[in-house]
């Protein structure tokens, strides 16, 4: 009880640096699958949809765990929950590093998925220990390093997989995560819980987790297996029932997991809608590009190996890291609405151009850079706005909901793109046709264009 009333200790550069390096290692572990996906598909003997499942299994777990982690961090303190989550991530990384087959690899990905909860927990720590202005900068730094980890994973996944084996892609970042967790345990001061006298809303947590899990698994099944309409309808009914039950419980709970009044704020729900649209388009392109790079060069593809794919994706990863660090700053200087419109316009123009301009490597590299900038600046600006638009006691749950929205958007995008490639596969070779990629890029452009419509429809909320 006494801990709840103590003033938080201001954290120094070493503690922020430790959080940042941990985010870098987590981003690396999350990103190694993208450039190595064609290699994994070949070595494990799986289709594009099953390959998308390797990456999206992590996202499924992250979508379920992030809001729970954020709420527990608000309740018990960000540091203690973060350390426990990293133990689970480490176990998953080591399991993936030892995986002999696809089922074991998927189990490792499930455990690794709790890493998504590290982001809202990091935001809790910087929000509690730093003034508002400095906390916004620190949030941008953590997000930038998490995205920068994507750069590291993209660059080194190929050489590691081809020089050692794909198992080491997971093992090496895991070793770094273990080391940095030990450093944080020693350096980071304990942050006092904000609501020490309130009980945890376990029914609300269970229903929200069940809703997200049913949605994510349903998404994977619908886009990958071609379920009959009755099965699709059944999945939709289950998700709707769980969501309705969750809303009912939250409205009656004395201390709800998510205060529905908070969700009703324009700053929150507008951010969630826009983030979903932005990241869905980005997820589609992020899945399509490495697949196109790997298509044999005797047709319309380039026949690149994992190392080369990583090198060509690297500029986009760098652009994403930079744009993530500048999203909040750009929104403060130019206004959130201007940042969102600019990012969406760049994304739409770029993806539509890809429909016809995808015959040279440089075209795909430039496209990935522009899309990473557009999506990164917009989504991070929305995240920093959300982190400072709620009370300190709600930082974890509010930011975790937005992180979950990002995860869902990327998962939706990649699964839809995988389904488009599967549907457009050549019956003789089993490879996607060029028209399937063109269709995928066109769909990604249409989704990105929706963000412009959403910004216009929610003009007042975006300016709030």
Of the segments 15-19, 123-127, 366-370, 405-409, which one has the largest average pLDDT value? Answer: 366-370
pLDDT for the residue 1:
37
Between 4-8, 378-382, 394-398, the lowest mean confidence (pLDDT) is in 4-8
pLDDT reported for residue 405? 81
Reduced to 3 states (helix: H, G, I; strand: E, B; else coil), residue 394 is: helix
Distance CA 418, CA 287 (A): 7
Q: How far apart are CA 29 and CA 26, in angstroms?
A: 5
pLDDT at site 225? 57
Judge whether residue 5 has pLDDT over 50. Answer: no
The pLDDT score that the predictor gives to residue 4 is 42
User: What is the chain's mean pLDDT, rounded?
Assistant: 76
Global pTM? 0.66
C-alpha to C-alpha distance for 85 and 70, rounded to whole angstroms: 11
User: Lowest mean pLDDT: which of 7-16, 118-127, 142-151, 348-357?
Assistant: 7-16
pLDDT tens readout for residues 147-178: 677 777 777 777 888 778 788 888 888 998 99
* pLDDT score of 227: 63
Phi, psi of 445 (to 5 degrees): -65, -40
- C-alpha of 260 from chain center: 23
Cβ atoms within 10 Å of 4's Cβ, excluding its own: 12
CB 357 within 8 A of CB 300: no
Q: What is the pLDDT of residue 339?
A: 76
The confidence band for 458, taking pLDDT boundaries of 50, 70 and 90, is low
User: Could you report the per-residue pLDDT of 260-310, keeping only the tens digit for each?
Assistant: 777 777 777 777 888 888 888 888 888 888 888 888 877 787 888 777 887
Q: Would you place residue 224 in the very low, low, confident or very high pLDDT band (cuts 50, 70, 90)?
A: low
How far, CA to CA in Å, does 248 sit from each of 204, 205, 245, 345? 9, 13, 5, 39
Are 407 and 112 contacting, i.e. CB atoms less than 8 angstroms apart?
no
pLDDT value at residue 7: 46
Instruction: Pick the range with the lowest mean pLDDT from 92-96, 332-336, 355-359, 416-420.
Output: 332-336
Handedness of CA 150, 153, 156, 158 (dihedral sign): negative
Mean pLDDT of 344-369: 87
pLDDT class for 138, splitting at 50, 70, 90? low
Q: What is the pLDDT of residue 246?
A: 80
Most confident of 54-63, 292-301, 347-356: 347-356
Give the per-residue pLDDT at 274: 82
Q: How far apart are the first and last CA of the chain?
A: 37
Q: Which residues of 226-248 are buried (b: 16+ CB within 10 A; e: fewer)?
A: eeeeeeeeebeebbeebbebbbe
pLDDT given for residue 129 in this prediction = 60
Long-range contacts of 332-340 (CB under 8 A, 24+ apart): 332/136, 335/463, 336/381, 336/382, 336/385, 336/462, 336/463, 337/455, 337/459, 337/462, 337/463, 339/377, 339/378, 339/381, 340/274, 340/378, 340/381, 340/382, 340/451, 340/455, 340/462
457 vs 182, residue with greater confidence: 182
Q: How many residues does the chain have?
A: 464
Q: Which has more pLDDT, 134 or 464?
A: 134
Give the C-alpha separation, 202 to 75, whole Å. Answer: 12
Which one of 135-144, 322-331, 441-450 scores highest in mean pLDDT?
441-450
């Amino acid at each position: 009880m006494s801990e709840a009333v103590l003033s938080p200790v201001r954290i120094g550069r070493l503690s922020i640096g430790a959080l940042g390096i941990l985010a870098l290692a987590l981003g690396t572990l999350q990103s190694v699958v993208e450039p190595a996906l064609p290699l994994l598909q070949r070595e494990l003997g799986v289709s594009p949809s099953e390959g998308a499942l390797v990456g999206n299994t992590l996202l499924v777990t992250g979508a379920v765990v992030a809001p729970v982690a954020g709420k527990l961090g608000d309740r018990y303190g960000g540091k203690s929950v973060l350390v426990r989550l990293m133990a689970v991530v480490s176990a998953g990384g080591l399991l993936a590093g030892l995986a002999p087959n696809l089922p074991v690899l998927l189990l490792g990905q499930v455990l690794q998925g709790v890493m998504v909860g590290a982001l809202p927990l990091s935001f809790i720590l910087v929000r509690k220990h730093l003034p508002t202005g400095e906390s916004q900068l620190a949030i941008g730094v953590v997000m930038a390093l998490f995205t920068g980890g994507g750069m590291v994973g993209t660059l080194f996944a190929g050489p590691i997989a081809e020089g050692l084996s794909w198992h080491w892609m997971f093992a090496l970042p895991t070793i770094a995560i273990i080391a940095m967790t030990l450093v944080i345990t020693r350096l980071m001061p304990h942050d006092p819980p904000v609501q020490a006298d309130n009980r945890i809303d376990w029914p609300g947590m269970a229903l929200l987790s069940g809703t997200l899990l049913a949605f994510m698994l349903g998404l994977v099944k619908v886009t990958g297996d071609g379920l009959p309409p009755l099965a699709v309808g059944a999945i939709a009914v289950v998700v709707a029932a769980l969501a309705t039950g969750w809303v009912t419980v939250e409205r009656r709970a004395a201390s709800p997991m998510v205060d529905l009044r908070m969700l009703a704020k324009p700053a929150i729900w507008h951010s969630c809608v826009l983030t979903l649209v932005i990241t869905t388009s980005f997820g589609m392109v992020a899945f399509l590009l490495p697949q196109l790079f790997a298509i044999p060069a005797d047709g319309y593809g380039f026949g690149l190996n994992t190392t080369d794919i990583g090198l060509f994706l690297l500029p986009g990863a760098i652009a994403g890291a930079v744009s993530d660090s500048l999203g909040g700053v750009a929104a403060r200087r130019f206004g959130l609405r201007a940042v969102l419109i600019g990012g969406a316009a760049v994304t739409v123009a770029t993806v539509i151009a890809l429909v016809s301009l995808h015959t040279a490597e440089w075209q795909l590299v430039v496209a990935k850079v522009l899309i990473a900038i557009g999506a990164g600046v917009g989504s991070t600006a929305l995240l920093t706005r959300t982190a400072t638009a709620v009370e300190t006691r709600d930082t974890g749950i509010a930011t975790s909901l937005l992180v979950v929205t990002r995860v869902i958007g990327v998962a939706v995008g990649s699964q839809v793109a995988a389904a488009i490639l599967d549907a457009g596969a050549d019956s003789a070779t089993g490879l996607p046709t060029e028209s399937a990629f063109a269709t995928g890029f066109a769909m990604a452009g249409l989704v990105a264009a929706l963000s412009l419509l959403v910004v216009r429809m929610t003009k007042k909320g975006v300016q709030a």
